[in-house]
Amino acid sequence: MVDSAVPRFWREIPQRYNLLGNQCGVCNKIYFPPTESCPICRRKSMDKMKDFKLSGKGEVVTYTITHVAPEHFEGQAPYPIAIIQLDEGPRITAQIVDCDINDVKIGMKVQSTFRKIQEDGWLGAIYYGYKFKPVK
Amino acid sequence: MKLREVAVIGFGVTKFGELWDKSFRQLIAEAGAKAIFDAGISGKEINALYVGSMSAGRFIGQEHVGALVADCAGFSQMHIPAVRVESACASGGLAIRQGFMSVASGMSDIVVVGGVEKMTDVVGNEATNTLATASDQEWEAFFGATFPGLYAMIATRHMHEYGTTREQLAQVAVKNHANGALNPNAQFQREITLENVLNATMVSYPLSILDCSPVSDGAAAVILCAADKAKKYTDKPVKIIGSGQASDSLALHGRKDICTLEATVHAAKMAYKQAGIQPKDIDLAEVHDCFTIAEILAIEDLGFVKKGEGGKAIDKKITTLNGEIPINTSGGLKAKGHPVGATGVAQIAEIVAQLQGEAGKRQVKDAKIGLTHNIGGSGASCLIHILEAM
Amino acid sequence: MNKVGIVSYGANIPRYRIKSADIAIAWRKDPDSIASGLNIMEKSVPSLDQDVATISVESARAALARCDIDPQEIGAIYVGSESHPYAVKPTGTIVAEAIGATPNLMVADYEFACKAGTAAIQTCMGLVLSKMIKYGLAIGADTSQAAPGDALEYAASAGGAGFIIGEKNFIASINDTCSFTTDTPDFWRREGRKYPSHGGRFTGEPAYFKHITNCAKNLMTRIKTKPDDYDYAIFHQPNGKFPIAVAKMLGFSYEQIKQGLLCPVIGNTYSGASMLGLASVLDVAKPGERIFVTSYGSGAGSDSFDLTVTDQIEEMSREKAPSVAKMIENKEYIDYATYAKFRDLLYWE
């Protein structure tokens, strides 16, 4: 993450805190993150996209256990990162938390939760967002 | 559309590795000079310069790379057009295509195409962060997905859907090291065993450090020339008979199928069509094995084997130096090294050497048609070229 | 007092736990005597990605899950803590954004050691009763810091709870509240310092006991109740012994405080302590039952509350969010080294 990217983060708060995507007014397909226009309907969908809040429920499509962590994530390794198929259709990439790393499986049902994602060092802003935990 | 035919009339490659003594400028100058001498052209004959470099800005704090490379090649007073292109790890392949289009369209007769990356001037962590800029910064990297992590997720899914095993992935690395041991310019010139790979430090399950290509410095350059003028410069010109490029969603989670790089499929279709050939006509290929799983995907997506059969192909050894379709005779990104921007151009150099019969201990018998496959990020861009000995 | 009460509630307790015994062993102390001396068996530990903001958001979301309130009708949010993620920049706005309550509401963060959450409840009561707002959200949460090797290390834990205050459809009416406040420096943390300091035994009788007993007696005198009138009592719980002692002093039984006594299994969640105790009681309370709460915050002060559970509690789908008991059971143990890493006791550069 580039230091001091506060406006970049702030703009995405509705997505990162609340999974706010959008829906095509023509074909009803749901997108996350929101798109300016629907890739299927293209021109016809411009100005017809509506806000849509995703439920945060989904299932693991694939995952990995990351042992060598990038900057800002060092203390958390090893951690699972997964691609999750949200119930409404879009896929999302996020960490899986609140479970043993050996229990992460393709097909596991998960639910979004609010966590700290990164900090911009000691002095910078704190960035919150979504992670996913298993649904019991 | 009527396009001129384009040939490669010379190439030059530096050693790849952790080259503490060599700067970015020295590396590209070295590769460029080697290529120019190999082609036997004079600098004055160069109409334009194309260079691929993923991230000189982050690795050495330097932008304006087109002008810089023309300058350190000694061309500053020739005032030729100098173009730097970027497509993450496919920057080199993209530079080749841009150079190819320049000659094919008739806008240039002779161009030099280079690729260069100097990755060891920054600390390891910064190199990793920079490579991660090839992924989706907002929706992948921000949340803790690393570059190896993305490919590891492809591997997990491929293992789940097709039964591919860690052993099959490891064999890709073993094969490429065996080839690299025969390549004097390769970063790693030693063989490794299956056990070495399986027991190596885990980077992102299921990929260990030996499933991953290294951080490297290096440069490569080729000289492209209108095919009908090529014999003036060399008696072993190699024609580029097909060029393909395609894009796909930046984030892995946006792809139609996690185990297929559509960018490869579409770029390959474009290149095969232009060349008028089928996958089975390819004698050998340099593919983008940034991680072992990437090579398995590549041989499937290029049409050499059916989707899902990449692992079995490795088991059957059809991609070894003596196999039906040798893949990565240079040692691939894994053993040869992966100075990001240089890779796409170095792949061309390897195929040209093979088609010219100059690949030394790595020579594939009767190599007539070769293919290069260069991927950006986790598959958001792909550049493919098909070459044939003239 | 006119009608005001708790419309909904939610809580959040991080999953990781460390046993007092393991902390004691790290410092070469006798594990058994420490645990039994404090009556704390284990405490909750926040992971690297949890802090007061995440705990507050999860608590607020749990409260909203249990009721039908439109978050846009929440007129005020107050988050009380002594470990807000920022010294300057409110936690309350993060919560407001994360529950969709922005932009037409009042927000501020509170600090009053362990009673910042109950102070927030009182503020919300006032705003609701004065009809300035329809609903107020009061949250108390902490990921409190303790110096390595200090006695507080066995207790300082992480957790929180939030209460939506309104004037109708409440599951428990808040019949009255009062406070007892003096300037008593028993425990404090200076600006910019990482760990708190305390007055040792001074934190007992002149601090904790004096404020809780006086405040409790004042409220019961005012509304003419006795300890026997209550089904449940919740007192602030800096360790597992003090609340039992103060209950006895006031004439409450162990049976009455049992449901709200969480310290022995999750430690002292500071601003979350009395709040979580109340949440734990609301998880099981039945219509007509009476609840007595007295919090304590160092510095010092206590807030007392008298509540009556209403029929509305049976209408509420309490299972829409995890109960305190469920969150207590959902745990994973860590060792002292992992604890030190999570609590930033090692110096990272």
What CATH number has the domain bearing residue C238?
Answer: 3.40.47.10
A103 within a domain of the structure (yes/no): yes
> Tens digit of pLDDT for each residue in B292-312?
999 999 999 999 999 999 999
Q: Give yes or no: residues B22 and B77 share one domain.
A: yes
B254 to chain A, any CB pair closer than 8 A? The answer is yes
Q: Is C178 a catalytic residue?
A: no
A2 pLDDT higher than 60:
no
Q: What is the pLDDT of residue A122?
A: 82
Q: Give yes or no: residues C32 and C51 share one domain.
A: yes
Question: Using CA atoms, how far apart are residues C134 and C44, in angstroms rounded to an integer?
Answer: 34
Q: Give yes or no: residues C186 and C100 share one domain.
A: no
A33 within a domain of the structure (yes/no): no
How many structural domains comprise chain B? Answer: 2
Least confident range from B206-215, C29-38, C91-100, C180-189: namely C29-38
C136 within a domain of the structure (yes/no): yes
Q: Give yes or no: residues B106 and B150 share one domain.
A: no
B148 within a domain of the structure (yes/no): yes
Q: Give yes or no: residues B88 and B178 share one domain.
A: no
Contact present, B224 and B110 (Cβ < 8 Å) = yes
- The catalytically annotated residue of C58, C82, C153, C167 is C82
A121 within a domain of the structure (yes/no): yes
Neighbours of chain C (3+ CB pairs under 8 A): A
Indicate the SS3 state at residue A63: strand
B219 to chain A, any CB pair closer than 8 A? The answer is no
Average pLDDT over residues A12-27: 96
A134 within a domain of the structure (yes/no): yes
Q: Supply B168's token pair.
A: 């099959």
C347 pLDDT higher than 70:
no
Ranges of residues in chain B with a pLDDT under 70 are 1
Indicate the SS3 state at residue C71: helix
Give the DSSP H/E element, type plus range, for residue A95: strand A91-95
Rounded to a whole number of angstroms, the CA Rg of chain B reads 19
Q: What is the pLDDT of residue C348?
A: 56
- Chain A hits for C97, CB-CB cut-off 8 Å, are 13, 17-18
Q: Which domain holds residue C97?
A: 5-171+323-342
Q: What percent of chain C is predicted at pLDDT more than 90? A: 90
Closest CA–CA distance from residue C335 to any residue of chain A (Å): 15
Closest CA–CA distance from residue A42 to any residue of chain C (Å): 30
Q: Which domain holds residue A79?
A: 56-136
Question: Using CA atoms, how far apart are residues B150 and B181, in angstroms rounded to an integer?
Answer: 29
Kindly report the CATH number assigned to the domain that includes residue A61.
2.40.50
Tell which residue, B387, B376, B341, has the closest CA to residue B224: B387
pLDDT band at A38 (very low <50, low <70, confident <90, very high): very high
A63/B251 touch (CB, cutoff 8 Å), yes or no: no
C247 within a domain of the structure (yes/no): yes
* DSSP code at position B17: B
A94/B132 touch (CB, cutoff 8 Å), yes or no: no
Contact present, A92 and A126 (Cβ < 8 Å) = no
Question: Using CA atoms, how far apart are residues B159 and A64, in angstroms rounded to an integer?
Answer: 12
B154 to chain A, any CB pair closer than 8 A? The answer is yes
Q: What is the pLDDT of residue C200?
A: 86
C349 within a domain of the structure (yes/no): no
Tell which residue, C62, C90, C96, has the closest CA to residue C77: C96
B330 within a domain of the structure (yes/no): yes
Q: Give yes or no: residues B196 and B282 share one domain.
A: yes
Q: Give yes or no: residues B97 and B148 share one domain.
A: no
Strands of the A30-31 sheet, one edge to the other = A30-31, A20-24, A49-53
Q: Give yes or no: residues B76 and B111 share one domain.
A: yes
Kindly report the CATH number assigned to the domain that includes residue B52.
3.40.47.10
A126 within a domain of the structure (yes/no): yes
CA within 13 Å, CB half, A34: 25
Q: Which domain holds residue B42?
A: 6-123+216-230
Q: Give the burial string for C36-64 (b: 16+ CB within 10 Å, else e).
A: eebbbbbbbbbbbbbbbbbbbbbbbbbbb
Q: Give yes or no: residues B200 and B84 share one domain.
A: no
> Tens digit of pLDDT for each residue in C149-204?
888 999 999 999 999 999 999 999 999 999 999 999 999 999 988 899 988 899 99
A116/C50 touch (CB, cutoff 8 Å), yes or no: yes
pLDDT band at A49 (very low <50, low <70, confident <90, very high): very high
B224 within a domain of the structure (yes/no): yes
Q: Which amino acid is at C214?
A: N
Q: What is the pLDDT of residue B338?
A: 97
Tell which residue, C243, C73, C246, C98, has the closest CA to residue C166: C73
Last residue of a domain, one of B197, B230, B263: B230
C261 within a domain of the structure (yes/no): yes
Last residue of a domain, one of B175, B199, B230: B230
C349 pLDDT higher than 80:
no
C184 within a domain of the structure (yes/no): yes
Q: What is the pLDDT of residue A1?
A: 45
Closest CA–CA distance from residue A14 to any residue of chain C (Å): 8
A17/C97 touch (CB, cutoff 8 Å), yes or no: yes
C182 within a domain of the structure (yes/no): yes
Average pLDDT over residues C31-50: 94
Q: Give yes or no: residues C68 and C196 share one domain.
A: no
Q: Give yes or no: residues C301 and C210 share one domain.
A: yes
Using CB atoms within 10 A of its CB, is residue B386 exposed (0-12), middle (13-18) or buried (19+)? buried
B153 within a domain of the structure (yes/no): yes
Tell which residue, B380, B372, B339, B345, has the closest CA to residue B131: B339
> Tens digit of pLDDT for each residue in C260-277?
999 999 999 999 999 999
Strands of the B284-286 sheet, one edge to the other = B82-85, B48-52, B110-118, B217-226, B6-13, B238-247, B381-389, B369-376, B284-286
Contact present, A113 and B137 (Cβ < 8 Å) = no
A46 within a domain of the structure (yes/no): no
Q: Return the residue of A nearest to B253 by Cα.
A: A91
How many structural domains comprise chain C? Answer: 2
Q: Give yes or no: residues B58 and B177 share one domain.
A: no
B235 within a domain of the structure (yes/no): no
pLDDT band at A120 (very low <50, low <70, confident <90, very high): confident
Least confident range from A49-53, B53-57, B125-129, C318-322: namely B125-129
A3 pLDDT higher than 70:
no
Q: What is the dihedral of CA B37, B41, B43, B44, to 10 degrees?
A: 170
